[in-house]
Amino acid sequence: MTELTNISAPADLVYPQQEESPPLLSLLTVPFIIGVVAVSPLDNWNYIVKALGMLLAITYFARALSSRVRVSAEFLLYMAWIAWGLTGAFVAVYLPVFWGTLGTLTQILVMLFIVSGATYLRKTLTLNLIAFLVGTVVVAVYSLVTGEYERPDDPEGRMVGLALNSNAFGFLMVSAMMVLAYLWMLPHHHPWLWYILIALAMAGAAISTVLSGSRTAISSMGVFFAAWFFFCYRSEIFRRPKVLAAVVLGIVLGLVFFARIYVGSVAEQRFDSAIAIVQGGASTEGSMIVRMQFYGEGLNMLLHSPVIGVGLDHFMFHSNSQHVDHSEYVEVFADTGIVGGMIYFSIFIVLWIRAGKIAKYTDDFTQFRIARLVRAILFVILISNFGRWNYYDKITWIIFASFIGYTSAVWNDIQARLEQQRFDPDALNPQ
C-alpha cells in the first residue's frame, strides 16, 4: 500500500456504499447511551435501559437482515473470549455468579455489535459521544443537587453520585474528559468560544474526579492529558509558537487549579497513605496493601490453572480477602487463563493498529487527529487497567464501540481509495 496523495477530486473516487439505516435507529441509540451512562447502576431504572436495549436490538437486527452489516474484528474477539470463558463452567465453584457474569458479558457483546454497527453504517460517532456527555451531565447535576460537591473532610465523604461507587464515578468523569477532547479537535466556526466552553467543562470534570478520591481515576486523568498532547499535538507544539504558548499556559493554570482542589481533599489523604505504604511506613488505609496482594494471588491462580483459569468473576472466591480484584490484567488472566487473556487483550491491539493505519494513510486532518486520540484513549485504558477493570463495564464499552465503528468505516473508505490508486494511479492524480 502507498500513502494517499493529491486527492483533489473526490467525485472521481469509488467509495464503499454505506447503508443508510432508518432515523429510528439513531433515535433509539441516543436515549440508550444516556441511560447506560446515567442510570444503569440503579436497579429500577436499569430495567428501562434494558427495555431500550432490547428495542434497539430488534430494530438493528431487522435492519441487518436487509443489508450487509460489517462485523468488526473486535466484536469477533470479544465473542471468542466469551466462548472461551464458557470453559470456566468446569472449574467454577459458584455457578450462579459464573452464569450471571456471562449474562452481563453477553449484553455487552450485543451492545458492542449494535453500537459499533450503527456507528459504522451512519458514522454517528459525534452523536454517540454527545449522548455520552449528556448522561455524564445527568450524573453531575444529580451530585450537585444532592450536595455531594461540598468538599468532603473525611474518607467516608467521597463522591459516588448515580454511579453508586466512587471509583466508577471518578473514571466516568475521566471518560467525559476524553469525549471533550474529541469535541475540542473537531473544526468549528467560532473556535475560541468553543475552546472556552470545553475548557470549563473539563475543569468541572476534573473537580469531580478529584472529589471522588479515586487514585486510579486521578492518575488516569494526568496520564490522559499527557497522552493527548503527545499523540495529537507533539508535531505542532514546537513548530507553532501560539500552540506552544497555549500548552504552557494550560499546564500552569491546570496545575494551579488542581492544587487548589487537591490540597486538603480526601484524594490527598489517600495518595499520602499509598506513598507511606510504598515507602514502608505506617498507614491507616489498607486498600492499597490489599490491592498489592491481589497480584500475588492472581499469579498463584494462573499457575494453578494456566489454560482456562478459575472461572468468570471467580477471583474473589479464591482470594484471601474474598473480594474482586482491582486490576483487569489480574482478573482476566486469573479468570480465563492465558488463552483467554491473550484473546481479550487482542481487542486493544486490533483497535490500536487500525487507528495507526488511519493516521498513516488518511488525507483528512480531522480523521488523523481522531485516530491519534483513539490511541491516546487506549493508552490511558491500558494504564488504568492496573487499578480497575473494564471487561464488564458497559460505560467503557460504549466509548469503545463508538470508536470501533467509526474507525472501521473510515479505514474501509481509505482501503477503497488505496485499492483504486493501486489499479488506476491517474484517477487520484489528475493532471
User: Is the predicted pLDDT of residue 4 greater than 50, yes or no?
Assistant: no
Q: CA-CA distance, 319 to 213, in Å (whole number)?
A: 25
Angle at 384 between CA 278 and CA 250, to 5 degrees: 95
**Count: domains in the chain:** 1
Structural domain contains residue 5: no
Measuring CA to CA, which residue among 418, 419, 417, 412 is closest to residue 354?
Answer: 412
Q: Give start and end residues of each alpha helix (H) in 213-327.
A: 215-237, 241-262, 266-278, 287-304, 315-318
Rg (CA), the chain: 23
Residue pLDDT, tens place only, 173-191: 999 999 999 999 888 777 7
Structural domain contains residue 241: yes
Top pLDDT among 30 and 280 is at: 30
Compute the mean pLDDT over every residue in the chain, rounded to the nearest whole number: 82
* pLDDT bucket at 250, cuts 50 / 70 / 90: confident
Structural domain contains residue 336: yes
Angle between helices 166-185 and 125-145 (to 10 degrees): 140
Structural domain containing residue 23: 10-428
Residue pLDDT, tens place only, 394-415: 889 999 999 999 999 999 989 8
Structural domain contains residue 45: yes
Structural domain contains residue 1: no
Q: CA-CA distance, 300 to 307, in Å (whole number)?
A: 13
Structural domain contains residue 37: yes
Sequence-ordered list of residues with C-beta below 8 angstroms from that of 192, at least 6 positions apart, any chain:
none
Structural domain contains residue 47: yes
Of 72-81, 131-140, 323-332, the poorest mean pLDDT is in 323-332
Q: What is the pLDDT of residue 67?
A: 64
Structural domain contains residue 256: yes
Give the SS3 label for residue 343. Answer: helix
Q: CA-CA distance, 122 to 103, in Å (whole number)?
A: 29
Neighbours of 188 (CB within 10 A): 13
Q: What is the pLDDT of residue 402?
A: 93
Angle at 254 between CA 251 and CA 258, to 5 degrees: 140
Q: Does an H or E element contain 147, and which? A: none
* φ/ψ bin of 160: left (φ > 0), alpha (ψ from -120 to 50), beta (otherwise): alpha
Taking the model in full, what pTM does it have?
0.87
Of 63-72, 281-290, 341-350, 412-421, the poorest mean pLDDT is in 281-290
